[in-house]
Structures are given as C-alpha cells and as structure tokens.
Amino acid sequence: MSDDEADPELLALLRESLGLNGTTSSRPLETRVLENAEYVYDNSVDVALDMHSTKAAASAIWNMMQEKDYSCKTWSEHELHPQAKDESTVNFIFIMDLLNFCFWSDTQDPGSEFFVDFRQKRWTGYWSLVASLQRALDEGIPITSPVFWSDESSTDDELRHVFRSASSEPMPMLEDRISCIREAGRILNKVTFPNPRPKQEKKKNKIKALTPNQEFHSSFLTCIEEANGSAAALVNLLVDNFPCFRDTTRFEGKTIRFYKRAQILVADLWACFEGTSYGRFDDIDSITMFADYRIPQMLNTLGVLQYSPPLESHIRRRKRIASGHAWEVQLRGCSIWAVELLRREIRLHHQQQQEQQPQKEKARPVNVNAILIDFFLYDTIKDREAKADSLIPHHRT
C-alpha cells in the first residue's frame, strides 16, 4: 500500500464509530455537540447561566407545554409545513434545512425588509423560506428535486426567482444559499458507479449500509437508509458528505462542533413523521438545541442567560458579531448547555412527577427533549415579537 492510499482498517474503524457499517457498535453514537457545548460553558467569561432562573424557566416551560399540548405533532400544525408523509416531504425538509440560516436584515427601515407574499399573508424570517419553497411548488417549479439543483437543470436566475422578495430587499445571503443548493445537487447527483442502484439487504430489521462514495441516486433517502435509525449517525453523515452542514469553529484551543442545520434536519424529520417511518431514530435524545440567534434571545429574556456588560451593550446596539468570534461561540455553546439543563430539570422534577400521578389527573404526556424545548422557545419568541413585546435584540452574526 502506497502512502497515498487510505488504510482500509482505519476506514473500517471510522465507519464503525459513525455507525455507517451496518453493524451495532458497543458504544452509543455521538456527535460530540453537547460535550463541546459544556466545554464552552466551562470556559465562558462573557455568557453565564443563572441556575435559579433556569429552574424557574424549566417550570414555566413545562407548564406552558402542558397547557398547549405541545409535542412533536405541533410541527405539522403550521399551515406552511408539508402535510404529506412521503418522500416528497423528506426532499422538502432537506432543502428547507439546507438553507435555514441567517434571515435578519441590516436595513433600518422595517417597511423595506425582506418578506414573501404567499397565500395572502406576509411571511418573514424562517417562514419566508418555507413560503418560498411552497410557492415554487405551486408554480410547478421542482425546487425540492435534487436533479433540479444541478447547473444543467436550472439557472441561477431561476433560483433567484424562487426566492424573490416582495420588498426592495432581496432574501439575505441569497447567493450563499444558491451555492449551497448547487453543492448539494452536485453531491446527491454524483454518479460513481455505472451499475444500477444496489438493493438494500434487510436482516433482523437492520438495513445494510452503503459503502463510502457510493452514489446517492439523486435522493436524500439514501442518507437516511445509511443512518440506520440513528440520529447521531445521520448528523455525522451529513457533516461528512455536505460541506454546507459543517458547522465548526475554534474556542480556547479546541474544535467546537455545533452542527446546527444538520441537527435541525434530523429534528424536523422526527417531528414531521412523529418518530415513525423516515423520522424513526432510536437515539433522538442525542440531538441538542440548535445553536442559532433566536434561542439565546429567549433564554436571556427568561433570565437563564446573562451577558457581560460589553457583550450586552454590543447586542443592544445591534452591532454585528463576527462569525467565530469568542462572543458568538459563547452565546451558541452556553445556549446548548442551558437547554440541556432545562431538559434535565423538566425530566427530573416535572415529567417524572406527572408519570407518578393517577391517570385521570394527568395532562397529555409530553416526552420533553432538547428538540421540543428549542421548538417551543422559538415559537414563543416569535409570538412575543409579533405582539411587540419589549425584548432584547437577538445577536447578529
């Protein structure tokens, strides 16, 4: 074997550690996101957690979830989320979360901020993206098809038309989103073998994983099949194969993994399919909160996150924080760890108590994980924003 050739034994060990070899590992799969978030929290100097407020917030979140019957079923209740439970929805979720980043505007004129008109409503933020995708499908544009994402099947102007704005401001980072679409198209449509797609071998309800570099056959379903019911394996597979999903940075001499959009994709599959079919993951609790800019805003509003005076002043003045800056890393890492502590508090002091109540006194059971807490906090901050509540601005990166 030459120096340029990969060691097959090392490759086999790597695939086993990622859960992509069709066998069951003796240890649980990991993304290391939570481990890295704890490291950030332990070394943070500008973001802190208030433990008393964390306990109070956990109680408030649990009570509100009970009142609203909040569960993974809530995901499908929104009018813009796809309702079909089939491959078309899997493709929709893939491109939706591939492009799910940075919707805030720099403009000082609220009237000129980017928004999308669809179904006689005005959609902003994340919902503007979902509305754009649904509008394209209504217009007969196959925006959720990986084949359409290739340079041979669509032009950049056609993609710009899909995400067109109803205001003078275009969709934020539109060219970056188009680049992500092209990259995903090249990867999913790449053909490395001339033979037809190999049949999946089923044995004891396990799907035999494909080997590295086999074609994706223009379908994200291949990735789900390879993950073999593991949320962590699917996150790792996304990060390994799609550069757009590689969300890492450096902090205090250590590589920090956030994997925001890869985790959101898995979470959306789980919520949409309610833990069955394409959304069945045996280790769904390995997914953490998704480190963005809205959840820190809500955690600060609840008193869970506390900022140093320089950082708080910077955020309140709506000044940008450079990507990878220590402030941004602390905001994201401490938010993940804060949601983990909220999850533990709810599980220990609220959910277990509910399970011990007589059946007739129980509210609808809610198995609270980091995904549901993230979804709930996001919905809550958007509701408060819509009601014009006084809130600290979200940080801008």
Determine the Cα angle at 71 with ends 68 and 74, to 5°. Answer: 80
Q: At what angle do helices 326-346 and 294-301 cross, to 10 degrees?
A: 60
Q: Are 212 and 12 in contact (CB under 8 A)?
A: no
- What residue type is 245 in one-letter code? F
**Burial class for 342, CB neighbours closer than 10 Å (0-12, 13-18, 19+):** buried
What is the C-alpha to C-alpha distance for residues 98 and 211, in angstroms, rounded to an integer?
24
Structure tokens that stand for 139 in this block:
């217009």
Structure tokens that stand for 288 in this block:
């953490």
Q: Tell me whether residue 292 is one of the annotated catalytic residues.
A: yes
What is the C-alpha to C-alpha distance for residues 207 and 243, in angstroms, rounded to an integer?
26
Taking the mean position of all CA atoms in its chain, how far away is CA 186? 22
Residues 6+ apart with CB under 8 A from 176: none
End-to-end CA distance of the chain: 46
Q: DSSP 3-state assignment of 2? A: coil
Q: DSSP 3-state assignment of 54? A: helix
Q: DSSP 3-state assignment of 50? A: coil
What is the C-alpha to C-alpha distance for residues 388 and 383, in angstroms, rounded to an integer?
9
Which of 318, 150, 203 is CA-nearest to residue 159? 150
Structure tokens that stand for 242 in this block:
């799609």
Catalytic residue (choose from 46, 97, 247, 292)? 292
φ/ψ of 153, rounded to 5, equals: -105, -20
Q: Which residues carry out catalysis? A: 292
